[in-house]
Structures are given as structure tokens and as C-alpha cells.
Amino acid sequence: MRRIYKLLLAVSVILLMTGPLAYAEFPNNPIGWGFKKGREGKPADAGKPLEQLIGKYGAVYKGDPNKKDIYLTFDNGYENGYTDQILDVLKKEKVPAAFFVTGHYLESAEDQVIRMVEDGHIVGNHSYHHPDLTKVSDEKLKEELELVRSKTQELTGQKHMSYLRPPRGVFSERTMQLARDAGYTHVFWSLAFVDWNTDQQRGWQYSYDNIMRQIHPGAILLLHTVSKDNADALEKAIQDLKKQGYTFKSLDDLMLSGVLKDPMLY
């Protein structure tokens, strides 16, 4: 009996270490992403504490500040009629992008998701139900990510999903470790502005000016596809940035650039 008891105890310890409590050692205090905006070509700056934290978990928010590369990303929570216009511009200008999608988007905008992959863009994970990931269990977090991955594969054939953008930019060390263990790299951003309020669109110039004002070498742009301003400004912004010597690259290019291996880039 004593031997059986010891065996059961050992099994219990293993289950605890591989179950939800395995990540209890990682702090779960919510952290909201933020940074000092770039100006006049100078890179955005998240500050040393945040940079050290994301570096610890292999996340990114900008590329090499010495190279005029740009990484264009979009968040897709729901379809508002402008994604095809955006995809048309990207195709015309031969610009790669990453689209971070939710479950609602996958269920309601299948044609757009299929086209993203067919056009050579990256589809990333924005969680299925868009929750605050710091407030869900380990298993629920894994489920949120897997539902997006599997549905995307079902629609497009894309088997692997490597990039995660946490809903609302809220994260913790626990959620970052969970995501990394699931094979994801957190992708934050170094250029953004209020563009998601569909009832407060201000015209293409608003979007264009915000992009051009904050742009900097290595920028990861965050735009929302629900914005008419963004859709109408995108072509001119891309063309004018190219004239300034910028090159648009994909997140895969960023990963291959060695940015994660060189802390001096931050």
C-alpha cells in the first residue's frame, strides 16, 4: 500500500506540474502595452522595463532602428467592408502584411481570410473571443489560440500560426510564457493611433498624417481594417514611404533579421 501511495503521489505531482498550476510561478499582473511615439524618424521607445520584459519572452515591437524597413500589420476583429480595398492596395504595391484575426472574423469573413493567404500575407492570432488573456485559465488561453489556428487551417490550409497579438494589448509574464510554449511570438507595435472608432472617422488625411508623423526605421505599424480612413489613406502612404526610401517587409523577414538575438537593437 505504501508503494502504491508513493506512486499515486508522484503521478499527482507530475499532473500538477503539467496542468494549469504549472504556470503559477509566472507573475500574472496585467500589463498594458504602451510607448513613447516616434517623431521625425526617431524610433518609438517603450522604455527599458518593458523592453527587457518582452526581450525575456522573445517578443517584438519594432525592428532594427538603423534600417528603413517597415512591418505592416492589421487587427481584424470584424469585417466593416474595407478589407478588400486594403488587400487590393497591398497587391498593387506588392507589400506584405500580417492580419491578426479573431474567431468572429474567421466565422463572418471567410472570403477575406482565404484571400489574405492566397495573396501571400500572414494570418496571425488575435484570440477567438478577444478576452483579456490575463483573466482566463491556462487551458482557456490555450483553447483561445488553438481555435483560431485550427479554423484558419480549415479555411486556408495554413497549418502553422507563429504570431500572437494579445487583445487590447494586455498581457502578463504568465500569458507570454504560455503563448511561447504554444509556439507563438508576441508581436506588439511601435506605431498606432486611434483609428478603430467607426463612428468617428475623420477622412484619409487623418490616417495619412498619423502614419507619416510617427514613421521610423524598423516600425511595426498597427492599423485596424474597420477604418475607412485607413483604407483610403493606405495607397498614398505606401507610395510616399517608398519615395522616402522605406521598404515593406513581412514579420517572417523580421524574425530572420536577428532582431531577437541582438538586445542592442532596443
Residue range 25-38: average pLDDT? 94
CA distances for 120 relative to 68, 116, 158, 240, angstroms = 22, 7, 11, 23
Q: pLDDT tens-digit profile of 181-213?
A: 999 999 999 999 999 999 999 999 999 999 999
Please give the positions annotated as active site. 75, 224
Q: pLDDT tens-digit profile of 128-167?
A: 999 999 999 999 999 999 999 999 999 999 888 999 999 9
Residue 131 phi, psi (nearest 5): -85, 170
Q: What is the 3-state secondary structure (H, E, C) of 189-249?
A: CCECCCCCCHHHCCCHHHHHHHHHHHCCCCEEEEEECCCHHHHHHHHHHHHHHHHCCCEEE
Domains of the chain: 29-265 (3.20.20.370)
Would you say how long the chain is, in residues? 266
Give 1's pLDDT tier (boundaries 50, 70, 90).
very low
Q: What is the pLDDT of residue 265?
A: 53
Query: Cα angle at 193 between 95 and 45, to 5 degrees?
Result: 90
